[in-house]
């Protein structure tokens, strides 16, 4: 059965011994917070999900903070009803490959929508009082990290539901020594919409609205069924509805309700909903510092600002907060499943020899083949797969900075085994491809940055770590490795001794 909301998912984690409710005091204030240290401690020890209910420095006392719910591959797999990460990935891929399995959402009335328990109209909205603010590390702003953002194409009316971070200006530290106006702090937010150039679907919507001189409405639904988070983070083709895809992942339609002030629909069981409008002139502002997914702080970025037109939330709501930092961290594995799914779904459609695709927390892409050496379909097959990976559908594969192709005897989840394959099956000049005109992963600090504070172009490297028969050899040295079944047999023999 699908989870109706985040609360049901958390209850499942608690029954599985994967969640703890903690009343120990934690500081969440800007500059004094303990949350980055807590994240590192949990990530280093495969720690459980937490619900923190004793926060110092938070503006909304009584709103618990959900922390680290997706901090392992196992808990991420539980989003799709299994504790096996590979099984969960294959379910994700299967639904992504087959839109006939997608299920359209169901529109419900206000009476069936817990997100309407409390309605704060535009004139009463004050971001400093109505949205929880928790700070992480040295970040200068409080970021909204648990939301899915809904917009509609201003030309076609087709909906997009994307996973985009939003920023609050209240109590924020201006990264260049400036200040934010009272209106900006209390009535406005910013969202990570890459609109100039438009590098995401919300960016396409915003760029089109600007060109047409029209406002663009948006709604941010915070803390929803995590299957919807997975769907919103997956790069399905532009013009297809992520709510439909989420329905396929859940095996049941997503219940939606109409917003109060904008012509959009949001998940009825969201904990918070923030409604707003981008004005036609698309004002921007500078934000920072921001800790990113590759493990560095962005000192400043420029993003568009929108007016908040209403806030609704559940009675006794929950808030979710996370930081991106040197991997791994919470939601690292949740974010990787859509990336792996996009790549694997596209490659397996075209290349049946592809067995698996694994993306490490540091965003190294590893493609495992089911064949190697002379069994490959043609010479230089590994290089063919490298180019196919960069050309795969979806949001992420084209930004892969390092891609490695390995054979069936190399475990793509074991970086030691991958390194062994590189050291024993790769000649640097002959087996590596350098692409100097790839699309950048926008958070990569090593690539040159544009005026908005993020890069658009990056160099890329592909490593063909397959066995080069017949390109270079007629046979290859036999691998010296213990039989896995015998290893298990020895382990059973030593059970209770070692």
pLDDT tens digits, residue range 377-392?
A: 999 999 999 999 999 9
Q: Which domains does the chain have, with CATH numbers?
A: 6-320 (no CATH), 351-484 (3.40.1670.10)
Q: Is the pLDDT at 253 greater than 80, yes or no?
A: yes
If you write DSSP's letter for every residue of 182-251 in order, what string do you get?
A: HHHHHHEEEE---BTTB-SHHHHHHHHHHHHT--EEEEEEES--HHHHHHHHS-PPTTS-HHHHHHHHHT
User: Taking all residues of the chain, what is their mean pLDDT, rounded to a whole number?
Assistant: 95
Rg (CA), the chain: 23
pLDDT tens digits, residue range 397-438?
A: 999 999 999 999 999 999 999 999 999 999 999 999 999 999
Confidence of residue 86 (pLDDT cuts 50, 70, 90): very high
Q: Is the pLDDT at 195 greater than 90, yes or no?
A: no
Q: Please, is 413 exposed, middle or buried when counting C-beta atoms within 10 Å of its C-beta (0-12, 13-18, 19+)?
A: middle
pLDDT at 1: 59
pLDDT at 314: 98
CA–CA dist 314, 270 (Å, integer)? 7
Both tokens of 85, joined, read 């990460």
If you write DSSP's letter for every residue of 451-494 in order, what string do you get?
A: TTSS-SEEEEEEEE-S--TTTT-SS-PPP----HHHHHHHHHHT
pLDDT at 197: 82
pLDDT tens digits, residue range 28-76?
A: 999 999 999 999 999 999 999 999 999 999 999 999 999 999 999 999 9
Section 335-349 average pLDDT: 94
Side-chain half-sphere of 279: how many Cα atoms within 13 Å?
Answer: 10
Q: Is the pLDDT at 477 greater than 80, yes or no?
A: yes
Confidence of residue 454 (pLDDT cuts 50, 70, 90): confident
Q: Give the count of beta carbons closer than 10 Å to the beta carbon of residue 112.
A: 13
pLDDT at 442: 83
Section 370-374 average pLDDT: 97
| pTM as predicted | 0.92
Q: Where are the alpha helices (DSSP H) in 111-193?
A: 127-130, 182-187
pLDDT tens digits, residue range 103-147?
A: 999 999 999 999 999 999 999 999 999 999 999 999 999 999 999
Section 446-461 average pLDDT: 86
pLDDT at 85: 93
pLDDT at 443: 84
pLDDT tens digits, residue range 135-151?
A: 999 999 999 999 999 99
Q: Which residues 6+ apart lie within 8 Å of 182 measured at CB?
A: none
Q: How are strands ordered across the β-sheet holding 49-52?
A: 19-22, 49-52, 65-67, 319-320
pLDDT at 282: 83
Q: Where are the alpha helices (DSSP H) in 18-162?
A: 35-44, 73-78, 85-97, 127-130
State what percent of residues in the chain have pLDDT above 90: 91
């Amino acid at each position: 059965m699908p989870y109706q909301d985040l609360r049901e998912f958390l209850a499942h984690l608690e029954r599985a011994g994967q969640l703890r409710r903690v009343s120990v005091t934690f500081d969440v204030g800007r500059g004094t917070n303990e949350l980055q240290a807590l994240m590192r401690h949990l990530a280093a020890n495969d720690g459980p999900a937490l619900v923190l209910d004793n926060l110092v420095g938070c503006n909304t006392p009584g709103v618990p903070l959900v922390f680290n719910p997706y901090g392992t591959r196992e808990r991420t797999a539980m989003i799709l009803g299994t504790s096996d990460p590979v099984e969960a990935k294959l379910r994700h891929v299967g639904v992504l490959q087959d839109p006939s399995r997608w299920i359209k959402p169901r529109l419900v009335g206000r009476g069936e929508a817990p997100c309407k328990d409390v309605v704060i109209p535009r004139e009463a909205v004050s971001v400093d009082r109505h949205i929880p603010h928790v700070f992480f590390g040295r970040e200068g702003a409080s970021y909204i990290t648990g939301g899915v953002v809904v917009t509609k194409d201003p030309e076609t009316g087709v909906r997009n539901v994307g996973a985009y971070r939003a920023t609050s200006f209240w109590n924020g530290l201006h990264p260049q020594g400036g200040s934010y106006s009272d209106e900006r702090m209390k009535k406005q937010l910013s969202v990570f919409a890459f609109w100039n150039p438009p590098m995401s679907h919300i960016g396409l919507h915003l760029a089109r609205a600007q060109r047409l001189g029209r406002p663009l409405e948006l709604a941010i639904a915070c803390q929803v069924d995590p299957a919807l988070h997975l769907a919103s983070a997956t790069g399905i083709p532009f013009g297809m509805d992520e709510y439909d895809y989420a329905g396929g992942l859940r095996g049941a339609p997503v219940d939606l309700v109409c917003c109060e002030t904008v012509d959009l629909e949001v998940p009825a069981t969201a904990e918070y909903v923030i409604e707003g409008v981008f004005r036609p002139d698309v004002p921007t502002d500078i934000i920072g510092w921001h800790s990113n997914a590759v493990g560095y702080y962005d000192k400043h970025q420029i993003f568009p600002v929108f007016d908040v037109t209403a806030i609704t939330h559940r009675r006794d709501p929950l808030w979710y907060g996370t930081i991106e930092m040197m991997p791994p961290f919470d939601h690292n594995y949740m974010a990787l499943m859509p990336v792996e799914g996009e790549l694997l779904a596209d490659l397996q459609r075209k290349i049946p020899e592809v067995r698996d695709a694994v993306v490490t927390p540091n965003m190294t892409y590893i493609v495992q083949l089911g064949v190697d050496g002379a069994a490959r379909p043609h010479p230089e097959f590994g290089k063919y797969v490298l180019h196919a990976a960069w050309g795969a559908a979806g949001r992420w594969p084209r930004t892969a900075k390092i891609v490695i192709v390995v054979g069936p005897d190399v475990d793509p989840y074991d970086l030691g085994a991958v390194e062994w394959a590189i050291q024993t099956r790769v000649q640097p000049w002959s087996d590596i491809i350098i692409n100097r005109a790839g699309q950048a992963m926008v958070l990569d600090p090593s690539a040159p940055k544009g005026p908005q504070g993020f890069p658009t172009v990056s160099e890329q490297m592909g490593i063909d770590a397959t066995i080069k028969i017949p390109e270079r050899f007629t046979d290859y040295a036999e691998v010296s490795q213990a039989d896995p079944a015998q290893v298990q047999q020895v382990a059973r023999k030593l059970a209770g001794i070692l």
